[in-house]
Amino acid sequence: MIYFWKTGRPFVFFLAFLAMLFASAAEAQRIATVDITTILESIQEYQDAQKELDRLAADWQQEVAKMYDEIKSLYNRYQAEQVLLSDDERRQREDEIMEKERQVREYQKAKFGPEGELFQRRKELVQPIQDRVYAAIEEYANERGYDFIFDKGSTVGLIFSNSEYDVTEEILKKLGK
């Protein structure tokens, strides 16, 4: 080690060697970014699927609102008549209101839950489109020799993206857009 510092030449050679090593390692990996959201939103089939999903969600949300209005009406009527009801009638009305609330929660879960109809419908409509886009990106990466392609539209794991590496437009061309 001390030898490097005294003469200088071996140290410069060592630094040049390290620089070449790091430069060749940096060239070995090719990286690009795409914006999956831009790509998906440019596909008419995806836009139609989103409209369908939005319509379904709005319809189901409207049904939930109606159910809650019915529960509110039952509760208001119960509140107004509560003093006139016997203990059994009060319990019966309370049970009826609680049952209606349980039914609404079950309905919401069935429609909007993690395994609900909206999730299943999204899977049916959007998954094939996403699969096509991912296949096009994979094909593009293989053809051009890219090692990594990151989704710059996603904030997970990507802190900086140089627009020089954005291949979104080229993927759109590959998809015929």
Q: What is the per-residue pLDDT across 29-83, written as a single tens digit (0 to 9) for each? A: 788 888 888 999 999 999 999 999 999 999 999 999 999 999 999 999 999 999 9
Q: How far is CA 146 from the centre of its chain?
A: 24
The predicted pLDDT at position 21 comes to 52
In 3D space, the residue among 36, 8, 6, 19 whose CA is nearest the CA of residue 149 turns out to be 36
Q: How far is CA 170 from CA 45, 117, 160, in A?
A: 19, 35, 20
pTM of the model as a whole: 0.68
DSSP conformation letters of 108-152: HHHHHSTTSHHHHHHHHHHHHHHHHHHHHHHHHHHHHT-SEEEET
Looking at the predicted structure, is the pLDDT value of residue 4 above 50? no
Amino acid letter, residue 7: T
What confidence tens digit (pLDDT) does each residue in 90-113 have?
999 999 999 999 999 999 999 999
The predicted pLDDT at position 2 comes to 45
The predicted pLDDT at position 12 comes to 45
- Give the residue carrying structure tokens 């003093």: 83
Bridge partners (DSSP) listed for residue 149: 32
What confidence tens digit (pLDDT) does each residue in 110-147 have?
999 999 999 999 999 999 999 999 889 888 888 888 88
Question: How many domains, in total, are found in the chain?
Answer: 1
Residue-range definition of the domain harbouring residue 153: 2-174
What confidence tens digit (pLDDT) does each residue in 38-53 have?
999 999 999 999 999 9
CA-to-CA distance for 142 and 8, rounded, in angstroms? 45
